[in-house]
A = this chain, B = another copy of it.
Amino acid sequence: MSEAVFKRRLRKLSRLLEEKGYDAYVVNTPSSLYYFTGFRGLGSLLICPGESPLLIVPVLDSNKALDEAKGVEVATVPVGEKTIKRVVELLKERKCRRIGFERLSLSQSIFLRRRLRKRFIKEFDDIVWKLRKKKDEGEISLMKEAARLAIIGLQAAVGEARPGMTELELAAEIEYAMRSAGSERHAFDIIVVSGKRTSYPHACPSDKQLSVGEPVTVDLGAYYGGYCSDFTRTFWLEECPEEQEKAYRAVLSAYDSAFKKAREGVPANEIDRAAREKLGKLSRYFVHSLGHGVGIDVHEPPRISPTSKEVLDEGNIITIEPGIYVRGKYGIRVEDTVLILKDKAERLAEFTRELLVI
């Protein structure tokens, strides 16, 4: 991304701050620091409308910040000193009265209230997400590459899986394929589970061996240019029991139903409901939300859940991932990362959703 992109983002954030009547805001999650400056590391970005933004980093990350951050000045904090102490000094120097923080822990909040008496302090991140939720062309193209790398992982999964191989060995092959192709890190800890372990939506791969007739679920994500992707497939080795084949088709039609409904202007809870309804009786095994936003973070707004109040917007990138998990028996999930457009949703990359028995 060019410096102009970051400056534009910072200008928009400043405008939103002024509208809310704040004279200072502190961005302090690594993913938002990356969004606004291009720097990947720890620190706090102090924004006061009308003044130049200042990135304050622990000296640990100063070489990196000086090389990577664009459109901002960089100040460093020595070993053993806390960034928040420096932020407080600056807020006092600049005589800020109404101050927003992107994220505060309870102890940070107590510290601030003691050090910044008589100022109004609030934690909020809606203005950050207002910007981050709507991906621009540059972001979409990075995420398409992250999606392409994830598909390389899925191809390795179905290409390498053999009876007798352990879940860990399969995970090794998949990660190797994604890394060698250019994935800068794993978007999250890969899930490779088989047999009854597929009834865990989240789990580490284990030394359990893959067996004929058992399902294998692989949930993975690549990372490119600072952006994540997130895809899942369940497939079977050599044969698929009839009950599980039926269940797979149900999950797939839940996916299709949600995917067809997804577009700008649709409430997020409606596409969750579309999937849930399609599952009929099986919906009691659908124990998580339909999806979540993806971007610099692998889980970010908008939430796509039964209780979500969000409405889909052009430029949102979300997962659609219905799944069912039958205790002690099996689990199935199908997940793609998709881009929301004016009149439809578009998958960031394609990998077959047909029943795979390999």
A residues near B, CB below 8 A?
40-41, 58-64, 66, 79-80, 104-107, 109, 123, 168-169, 171-173, 175-176, 179-180, 182-186, 189-190, 199-207, 223, 286-289, 305-307, 325, 327-328
Contacts and interface: CB of A to CB of B under 8 A. Distances in A.
A60 B287 contact: yes
A246 to B, nearest CB: 20
B180 A287 contact: no
A346 to B, nearest CB: 27
18 contacts: A40-B203, A41-B202, A58-B287, A60-B202, A60-B287, A61-B200, A61-B201, A66-B327, A79-B287, A79-B288, A79-B289, A80-B305, A80-B307, A168-B179, A168-B183, A169-B180, A175-B176, A184-B205
B202 A184 contact: no
Contact of A63 (B64, B176, B182, B200): B200
Given A62-B287, A79-B286, 18 more contacts: A41-B202, A58-B287, A59-B287, A60-B202, A63-B328, A64-B200, A66-B327, A79-B288, A79-B305, A79-B306, A107-B123, A168-B182, A172-B176, A172-B180, A176-B176, A182-B207, A185-B189, A185-B205
A210 to B, nearest CB: 15
The listed residue with most B CB atoms (<10 A of its CB), out of A63, A123, A182, is A63
A291 to B, nearest CB: 13
A76 to B, nearest CB: 9
A205 to B, nearest CB: 7
Nearest to A192: B179
Contacts of A176: 172-173, 175-176
A60 B299 CA distance: 16
Contacts of A180: 168-169, 172
A338 to B, nearest CB: 21
Contacts of A202: 41, 60-61, 64
Contacts of A182: 168, 207
The 7 closest A-B pairs by CB, nearest first: A172-B179, A80-B307, A176-B176, A59-B287, A184-B204, A64-B200, A172-B180
A184 B200 contact: no
A61 to B, nearest CB: 7
Nearest to A269: B80
A215 to B, nearest CB: 14
A278 to B, nearest CB: 16
A322 to B, nearest CB: 12
A106 B171 CA distance: 37
Contact of A64 (B40, B123, B169, B203): B203
Contact of A179 (B59, B175, B287, B307): B175
A203 B173 CA distance: 24
A62 B62 CA distance: 43
